[in-house]
A = this chain, B = another copy of it.
C-alpha cells in the first residue's frame, strides 16, 4: 500500500481518508497550516498517524521560513517554532502521540536552532525517522500480540487501528496481520464505528486489500456477536493510555469492553509506547474531544435528523484499566496491574 503520509518534493502528501473507500486521492500540502487543518478535519486520523503528520508538519513549518528576513532577528526562530508547534498541537486534544511527536521535534529544534538550513534538514530527518520507526514498532506490536490469538479465532475490532492509522501495518490490525503471517487463520468482524465510519470505510477496505476475511457489522451488533460466540477476542487501538492503564480510544470502545467482560471475552489494547502518557495518572485526566454535531446528524450531505437537533458527540471514551485484559506494546505485552507494568516501561519510550 502507498504510504498514508510522506514527505515528497518539499510537501507533506497525505491520502485523504475521508474519501475512502469511494476514492483514493492524495493531497500535497506546502504549509504547516494546511497540515494542521488536515489533522483537525480528519484527512488522516489514528493516534500514530497523527503523530507522524505532526512531525512532518512542524518540519514543514520551519522550512517555510527559508529566505525570511526575520531569520536574522533575535528570538524570531524561537517564536516561530512555538507558533508552528502550537498550530499543529491545537488540532486534536485526545491523541497523546501528537504532543509526543511535537516534544521530539522540540528536542531537535533546541539542539540545532543555530543554523536554519541544518535545522530544517535535522527536523525532516527526525520526522522521517519517526515515520520509519512507527512501521517497525507496529511489526513488533504485531509479533508480541499474535501469540494471544489461536488458529481459527475471529477478532472483533472497532474504528481503524490499522495501516491507515499508522505508518503502515497497524496496531490492532498489526496483531491480526502478524497472526495471519504466522500461519493462523484469523477472521475479523469490524464495527462500522459511527459517526465517522472508520470501521466500514477504512478497516474493511484495508483488510480486503490484504485478503484477510472481514465482516462488517453496525456497532450495536457487538453484544449479539459476542452472545453468539462469533468473536473470541476484542482488539482495539488507543489514543492515549494513562499511567494506570485507563485507555482513551474511539467512542464505543468502552461499551465493547463492558460487553466483552460480560461475555468472558478477552479485551486487548494494542498501542505503541508513544501512546502512553506517564504524566496523566488516570482516565479522568484525559481530555475528551467533542466534535461537531453535524457528524451525527448527517452523512455526506444526507440528513439523518433535523439540523436543530441536540447532539452529544464525544469522539472518544475512556475504558478503565480493570476492563482491559492486556495492553500489547512493541516492548512486551502488559498484564494487570497495569500501573506497575507501565511504570517499569517509563524511559523506554524515547529509545
Identify the A interface with B (CB < 8 A): 21-22, 158, 189, 191-195, 197, 200-201, 204-205, 208, 213-225, 227, 230, 251-252, 254-255, 257-259, 261-262, 296-297, 299-306, 308-314, 317
Contact of A310 among B216, B227, B308, B309 (CB under 8 A): B216
CB–CB A254/B303 < 8 A = no
Some 27 contacts from A to B, beta carbons below 8 A apart, are A21-B305, A21-B306, A189-B312, A192-B194, A192-B296, A192-B305, A194-B194, A197-B304, A200-B296, A200-B305, A205-B305, A205-B306, A208-B306, A214-B309, A215-B310, A216-B309, A217-B311, A217-B312, A219-B252, A220-B220, A223-B254, A224-B254, A224-B255, A227-B317, A255-B259, A258-B259, A299-B302
Query: Which listed residue, B192, B225, B306, B314, touches A221 by the CB 8 Å rule?
Result: B314
Task: Provide the bound-state CA to CA distance between A261 and B223, in Å.
Answer: 13
**CB pair B223 A317 closer than 8 Å:** yes
A258: B residues at CB distance < 8 A? 223, 258-259, 262
In the complex, are the beta carbons of B314 and A224 less than 8 A apart?
Answer: yes
Q: Nearest CB to that of A22 among chain B residues?
A: B303
B-chain residues with CB within 8 Å of residue A230 when the two chains form the complex = 312
> Which among B191, B227, B304, B310 is the interface contact of A192 at CB below 8 angstroms?
B304
Leading 4 A-B pairs by shortest Cβ distance? A220-B252, A223-B255, A194-B218, A219-B220
The complex places the Cα of A30 from the Cα of B39 at a distance, in Å, of 55
Other than the given A21-B303, A221-B252, A224-B255, 17 more pairs (CB < 8 A) read: A158-B220, A192-B305, A194-B218, A205-B305, A216-B296, A216-B310, A218-B296, A220-B251, A220-B252, A221-B317, A223-B252, A223-B317, A255-B255, A258-B262, A299-B299, A299-B304, A301-B302
Q: Is the CB of A305 within 8 A of B259?
A: no
- In the bound complex, how far is the Cα of B262 from the Cα of A314, in angstroms? 21
Chain B residues lying within 8 Å of A302, measured Cβ to Cβ, are: 299-302
Q: Which of A214, A217, A218 has the most CB of B within 10 A?
A: A218
